[in-house]
Amino acid sequence: MAGLCEGRVVVVTGGGRGLGREHCLLFAKEGAKVVVNDLGGSVSGEGAELSPAQQVVKEITAAGGQAVANGDDISDFNGAGRMIQQAIDTFGGLDVLVNNAGILRDKMMVNMTMAEWDAVIKVHLTGTFCPMHHAANYWRQNAKNGGTNDGRIINTTSISGLFGNPGQLNYAAAKAGIAAMTIVASRELSRLNVTCNAISPGAFTRMTENLMPKRDLKPGEFDRQNPANVSPMVVWLGSAESKDVTGRVFETMNGGFGTYNGWERAAREKFDRRLDPKEMGPIVTRMLEQTHPLQKIG
């Protein structure tokens, strides 16, 4: 039986470990040809080694799949371009881009340095834009040349960016930006037959092991925090079946799945004159009575 993504060419950033590794393995199992990108750095983004990506490639090829490793820095414009070009040169095209790579440098705002802010924004936000830019240009040129696209972009946001989490101002800002980028990209790319969606994952990985309680699983118990639980949604979004789904954010955590609604107007009052600031108190009170309380993580 053919896999769900049979013959599709997929690029996964941060594919050497954690969630990215599981995405790569499942895409390959479903018949995709995979470019496993990983700079091989630490959780905080320091250092580099290609071996994590190479190990995933080794696992895929040993199982009869097709994959190549890539060690480019996806937050570098030219590096991201080389990664996309490698997929095209190696496998003849590009169908799916999964932006998964990320780092953490958590600090309370009053203690956060510019270096800690810049590093996280660069990897998450710039590191999502650069691959998207080069992939979109490939699909645009393909359409101009008379080709047919069935493209997919799957970005990675976070509940920290959707709801806010103290100690993660840099990370939350980047992840909220990625959710907004997803919506904009979905609208810009629809004419090219390319969809763009995002996931908000939750799993026990090296990035979250210090943020989540220690697991104490009984024999045979389903591990709700296994990162492999997230990948079925990612692979489905990368398949031909998802062609009518775009601009959405999906929750993929705790062994389940969900959908999110973004910013939506809860209340509005309109006036035919300029108001005095002293009049605003009762107006704001009335509007907040029609607005849901701020949702918190947990």
Cβ 2 vs Cβ 31: under 8 Å: yes
What is the CB neighbour count within 10 angstroms for residue 80? 28
How large is the angle between the packed helices 51-62 and 18-29, nearest 10 degrees?
A: 20
Q: Is 171 a catalytic residue?
A: yes
Q: How far is the CA of 249 from the CAs of 159, 178, 199, 200, 266, in angstroms?
A: 11, 10, 5, 7, 20
Residue 285, φ and ψ in degrees, nearest 5? -60, -45
Please state, in angstroms and rounded to a whole number, the distance separating the CA atoms of residues 19 and 131: 18
Cβ-based neighbours of 37, under 8 Å, separated by 6 or more:
11, 12, 13, 14, 15, 53, 69, 70, 71, 72, 74, 83, 101
DSSP state of 144: H
What is the CB neighbour count within 10 angstroms for residue 55? 16
What's the half-sphere exposure (Cβ side, CA atoms, 13 Å) at 179? 24
In 3D space, the residue among 117, 166, 107, 185 whose CA is nearest the CA of residue 297 turns out to be 166
CA gyration radius, the chain: 21
Catalytic residue among 171, 204, 236, 250: 171
Active site residues: 171
